[in-house]
Amino acid sequence: MLIIGLTGSIATGKSTVSSILSAPPYSLPIIDTDILARKVVEPGTPGYKAIVEYFGPSTPDLLLPPDADNNSNTSTDPSAGRPLNRPVLGRRVFGTTDERKRDRAVLNKIVHPAVRKEIYKVLVYHYLRGQWAVVLDVPLLFEAGMDVMCGTVMVVGVKDPAVQMARLRARDPHLSAEDAENRVRSQGDVLGKVRQAEFRGTDSARAVIVWNDGDRGDLEREVSRAMGLVSGRSPRWWAWALLLAPPLGASVAAWNLALNYSVQRGWERKVGEEKAKL
C-alpha cells in the first residue's frame, strides 16, 4: 500500500486537495492528522490532562466556559472536564519568539506520540482492506519526521506569499494581521517544503509538487497531473502483490524506510552546510 504524505503550509489549499483526492476518480482514504490531533486531546484523554497540567496554571482561559460546552464538538461529559479553548491555546504556541517555540515544542511532545499511535491503527486497517494507496494529511509532515514512512510526498504550494496570507484572513476573518502572520510562520515557509520535497526526488515521483496559485479548475488539473505521476510509479497491481506476499511487502517497506532515512539525513547535512556558509 502506497502512503502518500500530503503537506503544505496553512492556507495553501491542502484541505482542498485532500477533498479532491477523497472523491472520484481517486476515492482515496484520508488520514487527517488535524482530526486525530483533536481526538487525542478531548476531555478525559491523557493528552488533555497533560495539556491542562502544563498550560493551565499560566493560562486562566485555557478551557471553554461552562456555557460554551454545548457549542463544542468535543465531549461534554462533566466528569471529563471542559473542552480546550483552541484559539487561546493557539495564541500561546503560534509565533517565533523563544517562549512560543518552547511552548509549541511541549505541546507537540504531548500530541504527536498519541497521533502517531492512531495513524498506525488506521494504516493497518486500510492495508488489510487491500487499499492501493492512502493519503496521510499532515501539515508538519517534514517537521514531525513523518515523511520517512511515505512512499510519495505531495506538497501543495503557492509561489506568492501574499496569496497565502489573503486566503488565511478570508477564511478566518477573526485573525488579526499579526495572528495570521504568526500562524503562517509557525508552519514554515512553503517554498522550503517544496525544496525539501524536490531533494527527495521529483523525477522518480517520490515527491510531487501541486501548485495552487489559480482557481479550483487549475488546482484539479494540477492534482490530476500529480496523481498520473504517482500511479505510474506505483500501479494498483503492485499494491495487491505486496498484500498477497507479506515477505515481499515487509522487504519493500523496510527498503523504503531505509531510503527515506538516508534522504532525510542527506537533507539535514545540506541544510547544515548552507547555514555554515552564512
Clarify whether residues 241 and 174 are in a common domain. Answer: yes
Tell me what pLDDT residue 275 has: 86
Both 19 and 55 in a single domain? no
pLDDT for position 9: 86
Task: Summarize pLDDT for 190-226 with one digit per residue, the tens.
Answer: 888 999 999 998 888 899 999 999 899 999 999 999 9
> Bigger pLDDT: 137 or 234?
137
- In this structure, the answer to whether residues 163 and 207 fall within a common structural domain is yes
Cα angle, residue 27 at apex, residues 21 and 28 outer, rounded to 5°: 70
Are residues 80 and 197 both part of a single domain? no
Q: Which three cell numbers stand for residue 272?
A: 547544515
Q: Residue 252 belongs to what domain range?
A: 1-29+132-278
Boundary (domain end) residue, out of 75, 110, 130: 130
Residue 191 lies inside a defined structural domain of this protein: yes
Our count of domains for the chain comes to 2
Q: Which of 79, 95, 130 is the last residue of a domain?
A: 130
Confidence band of 143 (pLDDT split at 50, 70, 90): confident
pLDDT reported for residue 78: 55
Q: Helix %, strand %, coil % for the chain, to 5?
A: 60, 10, 30
Asked if residue 160 and residue 103 are part of one domain, the reply reads no
Cα–Cα distance list, 40 to 54, 127, 149, 208 (Å): 16, 23, 21, 30
Ranges 52-61, 67-76, 83-92: which has the least confidence: 67-76
CA distances (Å), 66 to each of 45, 62, 83, 84, 116, in order? 19, 12, 9, 11, 31
Same domain, 154 and 277: yes
Length of the chain, in residues: 278
pTM, 2 dp: 0.83
pLDDT band, very low/low/confident/very high, at 161 (cuts 50, 70, 90): confident
Question: Taking the CB of residue 85, how many other CB atoms lie within 10 A of it?
Answer: 18
Q: Ramachandran region of residue 3, left (φ > 0), alpha (ψ -120 to 50) or beta?
A: beta
Of 115, 130, 145, the residue that ends a domain is 130
* Mean pLDDT rounded to a whole number for the chain: 88
The closest of 70, 69, 82, 78 to 42, measured between CA atoms, is: 82
70 or 179, which is more confident:
179
pLDDT band of residue 77 (cuts 50, 70, 90) is low
The residue-averaged pLDDT of 50-59 equals: 93
DSSP annotation of 219: H
Least Cα distance to 112 among 75, 150, 139 occurs for 139
CA–CA separation, 248 and 252 (whole Å):
6
Are 42 and 75 in contact, with CB atoms under 8 Å apart?
A: yes
Higher pLDDT, 259 or 278: 259
In DSSP terms, which residues pair with 207 in a beta bridge? 153
3-state secondary structure 62-89: CECCHHHHHHCCCCCCCCCCCCECHHHH
Which pLDDT does position 115 carry in this prediction? 93
Q: What is the pLDDT of residues 224-259, one digit of tens each?
A: 999 999 999 888 888 888 888 888 888 988 999 999
